[in-house]
Amino acid sequence: MKKHLMAYPYALWMLIFTMIPLALILFYSVFAIDDAGIHFTLDNFKRVFEPLYLAVFWRSIKLAAESTIICLVLGYPMAMILAGKNLSKKSILVVLFVIPMWMNFLARTYAWMTLLEKNGLIATIAGFFGIDLPSLLYTEGAVVLGMVYNFLPFMVLPIYSVLVKIDKTVVEAAEDLGANPITVFRRVIFPLSIPGVSSGITMVFMPALTTFVISRLLGGAHFTLIGNLIEQQFLTTMDWGFGSALSIVLMLMIMLSMGVTMRYEKENEGGGLW
């Protein structure tokens, strides 16, 4: 019974800060409040499916997917290198890798602005060699770069934690049965690391899909993502109803994508995010 009591503060916390806001958002999205009082409406959801906003959804999904794929392509080999090193070197590498994550997210992103802008470091160095770069800032590439830079550790660490747990003798057994290094990777190491890959994908795709800071700082006004759109509804246009509807749709999309990746995670083999 005591265990039950211990859970109440958390349940209360969840109720106040998660369940009630969620209920409010649901409420705002389907009820309009005007002079006539409160009445049910699906207008907000109809608006979400206007081409203008569908384009924003599509762009968000595309950029998030691109970032996730790049993170996977960069992160997997990185995780393998980390997992392959012997212990003493490994811990140094892991620390080097994690340190940037301790710095403020905004500071890191602003740093990229100064690197990428028209008279920034990269343009200056390129100019030094006689190359005239167009402004790198406020491009789609800059947004993807920002996402990859910020979310890469979320891909590397789950894959790394799965890779280090793979029994070395299983790899030796595969070699023993005639598998060359490529076959060992394809048939043994990669299949065994799928739980890590799928949690890595979830951990990168979700924040990339919902970010509004990276797209605003590195994309300027050109690359409105869902996150920016929602922020606008609540802080600028004050259209809470539409903002809530957008949030609900976004939430459903995330739940759907999690459902897909979860299918690849067998029970007990979950990537163990950290």
Q: Which residues lie near another protein (CB under 8 A)?
A: 167, 169-170, 172-180, 183, 187-188, 191-192
At its nearest, how many Å lie between another protein and the CB of residue 197? 13
Closest CA to 225 of 146, 154, 155, 143: 143
Q: In angstroms, give the least distance from the CB of 71 to another protein.
A: 24
Q: What is the secondary structure of 12-29 as a DSSP string?
A: HHHIIIIIHHHHHHHHHH
* Min separation Cβ 268 and another protein, Å: 9
State CA 228 to chain mean position distance.
15
Nearer to another protein, 36 or 87 (CB): 87
Please say which residue, 240 or 264, places its beta carbon nearer to another protein: 264
Which is nearer to another protein, 91 or 183 (by Cβ)?
A: 183
CA dihedral 88, 92, 94, 98 (to 10 degrees): 160
> What is the nearest approach in angstroms of another protein to the Cβ of residue 261?
17
Q: CA–CA separation, 180 vs 83, rounded Å?
A: 20
127: left (phi over 0), alpha (psi -120 to 50) or beta: alpha
d(CA 163, CA 157): 10
**Inter-axis angle of helices 226-235 and 190-210, nearest 10:** 30
Q: Would you say 116 or 162 has its CB closer to another protein?
A: 162
Cβ proximity to another protein: between 231 and 269 the closer is 269
For residue 39, give both structure tokens. 């009445």
CB of 198 to another protein, least distance (A): 14
Contact, 243 vs 230, CB < 8 A?
yes
Which residue bears the tokens 């920016």? 228
Identity of the residue, 74 or 179, whose beta carbon is nearer to another protein in the bound complex:
179
**Smallest gap from residue 79 Cβ to another protein (A):** 18
- Is beta strand 37-40 parallel, antiparallel or unpaired with respect to 31-34? antiparallel
